[in-house]
């Protein structure tokens, strides 16, 4: 690389890496070259490379995950939490392509906690839907939803086809519903959730615990969602 006179070498390396990212050589979410690879590429010492990478981290262009390396920062999605929270509408409204994949489903007996949120008796049969929500093919959230079987018999097949709980609810005569409560916390993901979000286990996720109700105020879904804290920013409305 030909160095420009009058400009620090580390700054020129930073500029070149920024150009690589802007041109798509390194796409959002891609792993950046290792420190030694950059040392060999630019023919400089490790301290110079570290300074250039630190500048990219400070500018929120690159993030570092302990034990995994440096990655190009993904586009952060502003995700409003309100009475009418709808994943597909939110993602589409940001000019991105939404998708939701059902990973697994199971019918089980409601625990005391699930029963309390769904306003049913403990032991009532509920269906558990475990899914991944994506934008432009990038995983944003992993959700576990609980719904009473008595009201939503067959919802697994419908959800698989529609890839949307909102659309699935319409099949059961629920054209509108709203968010009753949302609790927000931060926690470390399980191995399974981290794998589905394609992130390290030591990267915290934003966890929400929510209850949705129909127009009569009857609970229809109790959900627990883990959002990627690197890709989603929750906005409470």
Res 212: pLDDT: 97
CATH of the domain at 63: 1.10.10.10
Contact 129, 160 (CB under 8 A): no
Give tens-digit pLDDT for 50-100. Answer: 999 999 999 889 988 878 899 998 888 899 998 888 899 999 888 888 999
Give tens-digit pLDDT for 161-200. Answer: 999 999 999 999 999 999 999 999 999 999 999 999 988 8
Res 76: pLDDT: 86
Q: Structural domain tally of the chain?
A: 2
For residues 219 and 102, state if they share a domain: yes
Res 4: pLDDT: 85
Res 33: pLDDT: 96
DSSP 170-199: HHTT---EEEEEEEEEEEPPPHHHHHHHTS
Give tens-digit pLDDT for 193-236. Answer: 999 998 888 889 999 999 999 999 999 999 999 999 989 999 98
Report the alpha-carbon distance of residue 33 to residue 114 in Å, rounded. 46
The Cβ-side half-sphere exposure at 65, using a 13 Å CA radius, reads 19
Residue ending a domain, choose from 25, 40, 72: 72
State if pTM tops 0.85.
no
Residue ending a domain, choose from 72, 89, 109: 72
Report the alpha-carbon distance of residue 147 to residue 58 in Å, rounded. 43
For residues 43 and 148, state if they share a domain: no
Residue 31: inside a domain? yes
> Roughly how many angstroms between the first and final C-alpha of the chain, as a whole number?
50
Residue ending a domain, choose from 72, 94, 111: 72
Whether residue 6 is predicted with pLDDT greater than 90 in this model: the reply is no
Q: What angle do CA 78, 79, 82 make, to 5 degrees?
A: 135
Range of the domain at 41: 9-72
For residues 67 and 130, state if they share a domain: no
pLDDT level of residue 39 (50, 70, 90 thresholds) = very high
């Amino acid at each position: 690389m030909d160095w420009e006179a009058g400009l620090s070498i580390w700054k020129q390396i930073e500029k070149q890496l920024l150009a690589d990212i802007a041109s798509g050589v390194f796409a959002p979410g891609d792993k950046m070259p290792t420190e030694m690879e950059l040392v060999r590429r630019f023919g400089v010492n490790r301290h110079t490379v570290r300074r250039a990478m630190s500048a990219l981290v400070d500018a929120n262009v690159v993030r570092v995950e302990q034990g995994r390396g440096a990655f190009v920062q993904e586009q952060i999605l502003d995700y409003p939490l309100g009475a009418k929270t709808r994943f597909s509408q939110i993602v589409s409204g940001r000019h991105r392509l939404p998708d939701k994949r059902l990973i697994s489903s199971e019918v089980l007996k409601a625990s005391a906690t699930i029963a309390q949120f769904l306003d049913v008796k403990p032991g009532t049969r509920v269906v558990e839907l475990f899914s991944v929500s994506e934008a432009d093919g990038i995983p944003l959230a992993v959700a576990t939803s609980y719904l009473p079987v008595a009201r939503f018999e067959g919802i697994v097949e419908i959800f698989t086809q529609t890839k949307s709980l909102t659309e699935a609810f319409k099949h059961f005569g629920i054209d509108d519903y709203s968010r009753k409560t949302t609790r927000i916390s931060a926690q470390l993901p399980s191995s399974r959730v981290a794998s589905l979000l394609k992130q390290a286990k030591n990267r915290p996720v934003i966890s929400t615990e929510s209850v949705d109700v129909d127009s009569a105020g009857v609970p229809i879904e109790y959900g627990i969602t883990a959002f990627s804290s690197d890709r989603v920013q929750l906005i409470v409305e």
